[in-house]
Structure 1
Amino acid sequence: MTVTRPDNRELSLQETQMAESGSIKNQSGFFSRRMEAVCRWSFRPVDIAPLVFFRIFFGLMMLYHIWVMTRDRWVQYFYIDPDFHFSYPGWSWLEPWPGIGMHIHFIVLMIAAVGISLGLFYRVSTLTYFVGYSYVFLLEKSLYQNHCYLICLLSGIMVVIPAHRACSLDCLLGRIKGSLVAPQWTLGLLRLQIAIPYFYGGLAKLNYDWLLTQPIGMWIQRRTDVPFLGGYLGEEWVAWAFAYGGLLFDLLIVPALMWRRTRIFAYLIAVGFHLTNAVLWEIGIFPWFMIGASLLFFPPHTFRRAAHLKKGAIIPLPAPTRFSWGERLTVAVLALYVSWQLIFPFRHFLYPGNVSWNEEGHHFAWHMMLREKNVGIRFYAYDPATNQRGLIKVEEFLNSRQLSRMGKDPDMVLEFVHYVRDHYREHRNTELEIYVLNIASLNGRKPQLLMDPRLNYAAVDRVWTPQPWVVPLTEPLPKESWNRPLDQWEKILDLDIPESMQLARIQPSAPHSH
């Protein structure tokens, strides 16, 4: 093999091999230098004060969060009483603890939250809370909320960051060596995880319905009874202000918090935004949690000054010439995690159709406040052995929360059908065919079929790929929202419904917006 120099003189084979070897070394050196630069940034020391603040804040918020769940009897109603739990694909093997196990589980979570806040047995406390809370989160899909998913992620991050190396009982008791600094990647990772719900929530709002003020416009008009604000919420311009104000807030709040000149003003806007959400919508601890978590975008020394603590000396370290395999592995794992967080929310683009309609890829994507679905649903059972037909009484199997969420999500409907099928197999030795009439209205649209009513769903497998039996959304967004009573839908609508399904009353399902 020979190549030609710029002076047209051919290179020898040995010279060519040397040139190729040099090119490979240059490429290897380039990636090595990149890795060293990333490692150098990741392990640069920063003041540990923000991590200490977030540890105390996170632990106290989680203690309150779990206490509210126990106070409101969630444990009994959602985890112990139901015989059936909706599951996330791949997690159907999870089951609640028997007996009083779930009550003990929540007590352990509260103890772990106290341990996190105090910095006592910190690693054990954070790991216990992360595993225990994620278990509770994955037990019941009908309880999905974006802030619960965020809590799972943040509690997992807390396991690996050294937020207990200052102002903790672990330090006071001499269990660990204290430190005034922490690697920069710890603070950067927390900031990124807080930023993602903001920014991706804004990206999700860049859709046709939201840009035409739906469903936020419908919700605002229903809250005219709110003190102080209610008198203005009926105005048409308010819906546009909320829609585009919320969009711009989500997209711009993180950059504004990171820029010194706009930081204070941006934080005040964030506080106002979250307080407004807390007043208007029932979204749990999310507004209050984000008010505190957004403080992480302030400079590290701000937390030390606010607490009147002595300024820690952060000694500049000489740039290391080499990094250990452990440090390189840490950077590689961080890169994988960050890549997953940045890419996974876009998985709904792998599915055809409107994600708010078919729900395929909706979860874990930070799609917040984007849809209201009114649903009428009923289930028909047919026993081929006896030629008998009848309606399934859904309320005998599901609680009110499960019933209100199921009809909106075709995957949950299919899972429930499989449960009923297996129930009759086990208790009556009967192989049923089960058909579903599911009519839905999305964001004020005229109702239409959500699922193919002619299909025996007892014979349909639950898969990860797009479900061809989900009827595509065809109804346009109207100028005036659909407001006909549910019991009149079938009389008014011209739907292609089998004759055998036109005789019974539809079972109502409450609107779902989160």
Structure 2
Amino acid sequence: MTTDSLTRQNAGLLDRMLFTQTDNSPLVLFRMVFGFLLFLEAAGAMALGWVERVLIAPDFTFNYIGFEWIRPLPGYGMYIWFSAMALCALGIMLGYRYRISAIGYFVLWTGVYLMQKSSYNNHYYLMVLLTGFMTLMPANRVYSLDAKRNPDMKSNTCPRWCHFIFIVQVAIVYFYAAVHKLYPDWLQAMPMEIWFTSKARLPTVGPIYAERWFHYFISYGGILFDASIVPLLLYRRTRVLGFCLSLFFHLFNSITFGIGIFPYMAIALNVFFFNPETIRRVFFKKKEPVSTHSVAIPNYKPVLVTFLALYFVLQIFLPIRHVLFPGSVHWTEEGHRLAWQMMLRTKYGVIHFKVNMPSNGKSEIIDPREYLTNKQARKLATHPDMVYQFVQHLKKVYREKGYEEIEIYALSKASLNGRPLQEFVDSEVDLAKIEWNTFGHSEWLKPLEE
């Protein structure tokens, strides 16, 4: 695989950063923990009814636009799908048929992600990225069933880029999580006031949750944490402090908000910030230490460098693309997904549709809950791309009834961060005639009134 092997003194800066052979203990430990968390995600989705509620029960699912061909399997098909994911997760954790397991989970989970967005969650998106990373990793070279079956593949090292890309991805996530919080509603603790006031009846902590100072403390504490955690973890003297803060922050979020495996995934990613030798001494005491740190230049270097450059440029652009659209991203949703806009606003609304049939002069008022689950209907009321998709569904329904030409108008109200309800979709626009513009603003949205 390598075309040249150099000493660190003879290698260039980029080669030292990416291709220095380093102890692979952080990568191996992350493989084990991450695989276990992926197993919990897949098994928990089945056991707790998520698969049934989100993928099986709905008659209509909101795919990502452009991926309408990826549909949930009928019958018990999605249980088979998630069972396969659980097996792949165990393969990742144990290092068994690792490459096949990693690719399998990545493909299956990406499919689940694309076939529904009514349950969009930032950690679902992060799982797509991380499982994609894991398909590239030589994470099964030691402490794996693969290495036990084939001792010739054993290695205590990996190229430094295998750790580097996780660190950069984590830095991007936290950086934008901090930057996006610097908007007026968050700085006035409006979302936190709504969330924590709703928990005021909890025993012991309820009275504290209701205090206004606590809402400001959590809001500004969140900004400080997101902005400082990566520098704290990168600097050797503050690394333990950073880890302790990360542990407290994510466990608090897990207990308070119940956001699945994301807090534990974030904690697990901390291993890449520690000295690999430290990870080896703590978790793999029988593993031989790495005595040399040569620079091995692989023949895939041009492909890897190009891929990493393009990937991270995209990761830097996606979270700020909302500046290309007019209005508040928290209201229009344009540029909100894939941007680490993590729990930054609370939003709700109601919507009905008026369908006019010019051929006979009749009109009907459509309640979306006739076609959707309650959760889907709630999301529909505040997400313009879902409004567009539901309108396309209504056009199909009425076409099957014999109405080729219909007019569809939305009767909608929405509220952002506790503001009074206001019109969300322009009720005078015939939505049956609109075309979706992936890279443009939806002119049929009403602007947010302060």
1:116 aligns with 2:92: yes
Contact 1:435–1:453 (CA under 8 A) maintained in structure 2: yes
Point out where structure 2 has 5 or more consecutive residues left out of the alignment.
1-10
> What SS class does the counterpart of residue 60 from structure 2 fall into?
coil
- Listed one character per residue, the Cα deviations across residues 195-231 of structure 1 (whole Å, up to 9, x for unaligned) are 3222211111011111111211221122123343222
Do the aligned partners of residues 180 and 192 (structure 1) sit closer, same or farther apart at CA in structure 2, a change above 3 Å counting? same
| Unmatched runs of 5 consecutive residues or more in structure 1 | 1-34, 476-514
Normalized against structure 1, the TM-score is what?
0.82
Report the CA distance shift for 1:249/1:117 in structure 2 as closer, same or farther (over 3 A): same
Residue 302 of structure 2 is aligned to residue 334 of structure 1: no
How far apart, CA to CA, are the structure 2 residues paired with 1:277 and 1:474?
32
Is 1:102–2:48 an aligned residue pair?
Answer: no
Q: Superposed, which structure 2 residues align to 1:193-204 within 5 Å?
A: 193-204=169-180
CA-CA distance at 1:324 after TM superposition = 5.4
The question of 1:469 aligning with 2:444 is answered yes
Corresponding residue number in structure 1 for 2:25 = 49
1:235 and 2:211 are equivalent in the alignment = yes
* 1:253 corresponding residue in structure 2: 229
The alpha carbon displacement at 1:311 in A equals 5.1
Identity %: 38
Deviates more, 1:39-48 or 1:429-438: 429-438
Asked if 2 retains the 8 angstrom alpha-carbon contact of 1:380 and 1:390, the reply is: yes
| Contact 1:165/1:176 (8 A) holds in 2 | no
Distance change >3 Å, CA 394–CA 227, structure 1 → 2? same
Q: Tell me, yes or no, if structure 1 residue 397 matches structure 2 residue 371.
A: yes
Give CA deviations for 1:432-473 in whole Å, capped at 9, x if unaligned: 211001111111112221111001101111111111111111
Aligned equivalents of 2:146 and 2:357: distance in 1?
64
Larger CA deviation: 147-156 vs 264-273 = 264-273
CA distance in 2, matches of 1:175, 1:419: 56
Partner of 2:259: 283
* C-alpha distance 107-42 of structure 1, shift in aligned 2 (>3 A): same
Alignment check: 8 A CA contact 1:39 1:327 kept: no
CA distance in 2, matches of 1:459, 1:262: 58
TM-score (normalizing by structure 2)? 0.94
Q: Aligned to 1:293, what secondary structure does the other structure show? A: helix
The residue aligned with 2:272 is 296
Among candidates 413, 417, 422, match of residue 448 of structure 1? 422
Number of the residue aligned with 2:5 = none
Indicate the residue corresponding to 1:374 in structure 2. 348
d(CA) in 2 for partners of 1:60 and 1:324? 31
Deviation of residue 63 (structure 1)?
0.4
Partners of 1:232 and 1:238 within 8 A in 2: yes
Partner of 1:157: 133
Q: Is the 8 A contact 2:351 2:410 kept in 1?
A: yes
CA distance in 1, matches of 2:274, 2:293: 24
Give the number of the structure whose alpha-carbon radius of gyration is greater. 1
Q: Is the 8 A contact 1:194 1:294 kept in 2?
A: no
Measure the CA separation in 2 of the matches of 1:137 and 1:445: 31
Please list the CA deviations of residues 156-207 of structure 1 after superposition, one character each: whole Å capped at 9, or x if unmatched.
0000011111100000001761100000000011122233222211111011
**Aligned-CA RMSD value:** 1.7
Whether contact under 8 Å (1:39, 1:328) holds in the other structure is: no
Tell me which moved more, 286-295 or 132-141.
Answer: 286-295
> CA separation in 1, counterparts of 2:423 and 2:365?
19
TM-aligned CA deviation for residue 81 of structure 1? 2.7
> What displacement does 1:318 show?
5.6
2:321 counterpart of 1:347: yes
Partners of 1:314 and 1:304 lie apart in 2 by 10
Q: Counterparts of 2:320 and 2:132 in 1: how far apart (Å)?
A: 22
Q: Give the paired residue count.
A: 439
Which residue of 377, 384, 388 maps to 2:362? Answer: 388
1:300-348 residue CA offsets vs partner (Å, 9 max, x unmatched): 112211124235343435667xx55521221121111121112221111
Residue in 1 aligned with 2:38?
62
Structure 1 runs (4+) greater than 6 angstroms displaced: none
